[in-house]
Amino acid sequence: MPVLDLTADVCDLTARLVDIESVSGHEAALADAIEQELRRLPHLTVERDGDAVVARTALGRARRAVLAGHIDTVPTADNVPSHVAHDRLYGCGTSDMKSGVAVQLKLAATVPEPVHDLTYVFYECEEIEAERNGLRRLARTRPEWLTGDFAVLMEPTDGVIEGGCQGTMRVEVTVPGRRAHSARSWMGDNAIHGAAPVLEILRAYEARRPEVEGLRFHEGLNAVFISGGVAGNVIPDECVVTVNYRFAPDRTVAAAQAHLREVFAGFDIRVTDVAAAARPGLDHPAAETFVAEVGEGQARAKLGWTDVARMAELGIPAVNYGPGDPTLAHTKDEFVRLAAVTEAERRMRRWLTGREGEDR
């Protein structure tokens, strides 16, 4: 009996994927299982790099689409193995994003002659620091494996197409002070107290809600950490407020950084992490067709950051689409509606074959 059975129902396949734990950095067992089953399929050419597996058709079609999904999850929280209750599959990664990966695998196994050539990408380490991201590594070292005219990231979107993604930037705003004994506090300058203006700037900040290529984005600027203090009897000489800025795709990284320097004028700020945004690109012919056939003409803005940005850097227009609910991602009681998984497979199959319920 194979570890994975690609002839199984897509919901059963989702459950099996969840039951093979693959916390970020520990995806080898799942990557092995995916590689093993894909290599059984004669219509696919399969490559592996680290714990990323790439499978491609070579039918000579006029257009190539890339279907990508990460196989890692956040740490489990006593939510593996999976279980079903009330038409819901519960377990770590059900929503983010093993249900989307199950749809990819099911299509890879049962659609041998799609209307577009296809590249299926299964990659590791999306949920942790960017330098370990498997798709980032492939884009740098194996860009030819990712070549395509259009891409779909099977991220959880609750079955709604989400265009582009917002960028993210973290900065440290440092407030200086002067140490003193707390019994003689007037001889020092309390840096933690001095951070009050930074927090007031954040409290009063009005986030932009720009429309980009017809989609409404909603930015955010928030403190996510604050640190300071030396000892229980010392006036602190430094306080650092870590701020996360989520910026719309009408701003470049440089423009986003310039905006923060303007917002925190007079304070020392240092960028510690950044990822560019991606424009929706829904005017591309392949994207227009996908929205019409899979999204039934509807799309909205992706308010988080996803690897569509990496595709954009490669010049490939991309969208997010998957059966999971993003609001359930990373929660202990994470689940996916079984009907949503089946519906996502149905819509994707129709897009790839022009038919419904065939090639199963």
Is 27 among the catalytic positions?
no
Of 72, 127, 307, 345, which one is the catalytic site residue? 72
Find the helix packing angle between 10-19 and 338-353, rounded to 10°. 120
Of 35, 96, 126, 127, which one is the catalytic site residue? 126
Is 200 among the catalytic positions?
no
The residues assigned a catalytic role are: 72, 126
